[in-house]
Copies of this chain bind each other. A is one copy, B any other.
Amino acid sequence: MLSRKASCNTHGQDSYYFLGWEEYKKNPYDEVKNPNGIIQMGLAENQLSLDLVESWLESNPEATGFTNGGSTFRDIALFQDYHGLPAFKNALAGFMARIRENKVSFDPNKLVLTAGTTSANEILMFCLAERGDAFLVPTPYYPGFDRDLKWRTEVEIVPVHRSSSNGFKITESAMEEAFEHARNQLNRTVKGLLITSPSNPLGTTMTRHELDQIIHFANTRNLHVISDEIYSGTVFDSLSFVSIAELALQHKDSHNKNDLSSRVHMVYSLSKDLGLPGFRAGVIYSQNEAVVSAATKMSSFGLVSSQTQHLLSSMLSDEKFVRKYISENRTRIKNRKQMLFSGLQDLGIKCLNSNAGLFCWVDMKKFLKSNTFNAEMELWRRLIYEVGWNVSPGSSFHCIEPGWFRVCFANMDERTMTVALRRVRAFVDRFF
C-alpha cells in the first residue's frame, strides 16, 4: 500500500550504526553509575566549546527574548519569508568569512537558509539532477549522503575511490574511472561531484592541488561541484585550509552560464562548528542565480525557525564573541585530537594525519584476522563488547580498504577520553 520510498530501508544509516547505537543505549558509560559501560565514540558532535556559548547566553539574556534588535515577538512569530531574516543572513555571511580568515567574503543575497545540511544537499540534488542522474562522491564519505542525495531524489551516487596508498587524496584517474564507469557501465548521466572538505570521516582538508584538479575535471566536462564545508570551523591548522569559495565563488556575477562559478556551490551549517545540531541552521551558497532562486523556493520544505534565526543573529553579530569562539574552539579541538592521536600512537596505532574534524581516522588493519570486511565487522564487535568503544567502521563510509575506523573525540569530556585510552591500551596488551 505504501510507496517504494517508504518501504525502502536505505536511509543512509547501516546496520553498524543502528547496532552500535542500540548497544550503547543499553549500556552507556557513566563514570560513577556505569563505569564499565560503552563509551560513545561514534557521534561527530562538538561539545568542546558549548560552555563559551552558554556564557554568552548568560551575559546576553535578551538574545533569547524578543526585544533585542528592535524586533518584537510578533515580528518574529509571523516571519516566514523564505529569504530569511536579513540580520541573520548578514551575520552568518560574516561568520563564514571569518572562519576562512576573511580571505573570502559572502554575499548574503546568495545564501539560501535550510533546516541543516541534510536538507541543503537534498535541495541541490533536486536543483541540479534528474532522477537517475549520478553525482560522483569521493570515498570514504558520510553515510547520511545515501539518504540525503539519493533517497527522495532518486539520484545515484557513484563513488570515486580514495585509498591509504596516497593518504586518501583524490586523483584525476580515480575521477575519470568513476565518470567512465557511470557513463559506460551504469548508463548514467553524471551531473556533478560532491566533495566534503574538511572530510568526514578523514579529518583532512582538500589541498589546493586536489581542488585545482577537481575544478579542472569538472570544467572540462561541464559538471557541477558541490563543496560541503560543514566542518570548516573545526580546521585547527587554518593556514592549510583552502575553501572552494577562494577558488571559484568570488566572482561578482556570473551571467555566463558556462562560467565555472555558476557550477560551484557550497553547503554549510552551524551544527558542527557551534555545536548546535538541534537548531537546524544550514545554508547553501551559490553564484548561480537560478539555483539560488529554485533552492530558496524549495527551502519552504525546511525553513529555519525564525526564533532560532533571531537568537543566532544576535550571537553571530557579536564580533568579539565570534573571534574568541573560533580561536578557542580550534585550540580545544586541536588539543583533544592530539590527546587521542598520541595516545593511540603510543600503542603503535596510527591515525591518518589530520588538520580538522571531530574525529580521527584510525588504521586498525593490524588487528584484523584477514584483509576482509568480515574481519572488520568482527573487530568492530570486539571493540564494542570487549573494549567498550562504540566507533564506526570504514565500511559504513564506503571505504574500500578494510581496517579503518572513525573515532570521535569531541562529544565527551577529557576524563572519559582518558578512560577510553586506558581501555584500548588493555586491549592491545591482551591482543599481542
Contact = CB atoms under 8 A, between A and B. Distances in A.
A70 interface: no
A291 B257 contact: no
Interface string A35-62: 0000000000101001001100100010
A230 to B, nearest CB: 13
A334 interface: no
B73 A57 contact: yes
B45 A78 contact: yes
A314 to B, nearest CB: 13
A74 B61 contact: no
Contact of A1 (B74, B257, B304): B257
Nearest to A153: B152
A281 B290 CA distance: 29
Range for the number of chain A residues in contact with chain B = 35 or more
A213 interface: no
A126 B152 contact: yes
A191 B196 CA distance: 39
A119 to B, nearest CB: 5
A98 to B, nearest CB: 21
A6 B119 contact: no
Contacts of A72: 54
A122 B2 CA distance: 14
Interface string A299-342: 01111111110010000000000000000000000000000000
A115 B301 CA distance: 7
Contacts of A54: 72-74
Nearest to A116: B303
Contact of A130 (B3, B53, B294, B297): B3
A294 B116 contact: no
Query: Could you tell me the dominant secondary structure of chain A's interface residues?
Result: helix
Nearest to A11: B297
A383 B301 CA distance: 32
A262 B2 CA distance: 11
Contacts of A291: 2, 6
Contacts of A2: 127-128, 288, 290-291, 294
B305 A278 contact: yes
B302 A305 contact: no
Given A115-B303, A118-B300, A305-B305, A47 B74 contact: yes
A6 B127 contact: yes
A368 interface: no
Q: Which 8 A-B pairs have the closest CB atoms?
A: A278-B306, A302-B302, A305-B305, A6-B294, A6-B127, A79-B278, A80-B277, A305-B308
26 contacts: A1-B222, A1-B263, A3-B130, A5-B126, A6-B128, A50-B73, A50-B78, A53-B73, A54-B74, A77-B276, A78-B278, A80-B280, A115-B301, A115-B302, A115-B303, A126-B152, A131-B131, A151-B298, A152-B298, A278-B305, A280-B306, A301-B301, A301-B302, A305-B307, A307-B307, A307-B308
Given A6-B127, A80-B271, A115-B303, 8 more contacts: A2-B128, A3-B127, A5-B294, A47-B74, A78-B276, A304-B305, A307-B307, A308-B308
